[in-house]
Amino acid sequence: MKTVPVIIFILLAGHLLVSCNDAQSEKATLPVKSTKKSSKKRIRVLCSQSATHAFSEKYKKDQFRITVTGDSMLTATVRFDIINYKNKKIYTESFPATNLLNYDISATAPDNEKEQFIKQRVKEFFYEENFRYPAVHTDDKFGADYSNKKYWEAIKADRSAIGFYYLLGEEDGKSIAWSKKLKKVVLYFNCC
């Protein structure tokens, strides 16, 4: 009879040993909390402008946004986004804020005048005269040096396409439109 308590003792000890090992292995798989603080840099918005305008659909309004971020206007980055009426981003472009300078201001102008010029360009970016309907008129001619034929033809064929024009730098004029056929915003004309 002395063997029964010994066997029970061995079984209980074995069970405890296995249970402790299971607990140890569970602890090893738990995620370790990091004590290192994340160093997220805050983005400083220097100026911005937004507008709603028909673009991807003739009778629906899309949101156009331009935001200048950075430490100063002359070293900042500009982000241009178009969010459609379904709240889906359909276009984004980033470029240096100095790309908003052009022939209308002297390259030797003082920095404060250049900064004010950039702010004014941001303010005027979505003026109504920058939108064109239809995007390509029937008498507009295709220019191989300035257009992608596939994009040009897709926009010209769609009489409801609305174009948007903006100028970067001194001679980088861009005309974009939503192509229903290609289901994306396309640069259909790019010239001086």
**pLDDT on residue 43:** 86
Among 17-21, 45-49, 87-91, 159-163, which is the least confidently predicted range? 17-21
- Is the Cα dihedral 79, 133, 56, 50 positive or negative? positive
- Residue 192: per-residue pLDDT: 81
pLDDT at 2 (0 to 100): 52
Express each pLDDT in 111-121 by its tens digit: 999 999 999 99
Query: Hey, what are 136's tokens?
Result: 């390509």
Per the prediction, the chain carries an average pLDDT of 85
> Which tokens in the block code for residue 76?
């900042």
Q: Where are the alpha helices (DSSP H) in the chain?
A: 3-29, 111-124, 149-157
State the maximum Cα–Cα separation within the chain, in Å, rounded to a whole number. Answer: 110
Q: Assign 151 to helix, strand or coil.
A: helix
Distance in angstroms (rounded) separating the CA atoms of residues 62 and 86:
8
Express each pLDDT in 92-110 by its tens digit. 999 999 999 999 999 999 9
Q: Decide the pairing of beta strands 45-54 and 61-69.
A: antiparallel
Confidence category of residue 11, pLDDT binned at 50, 70, 90: very low
Q: In the predicted model, is pLDDT for residue 12 greater than 60?
A: no
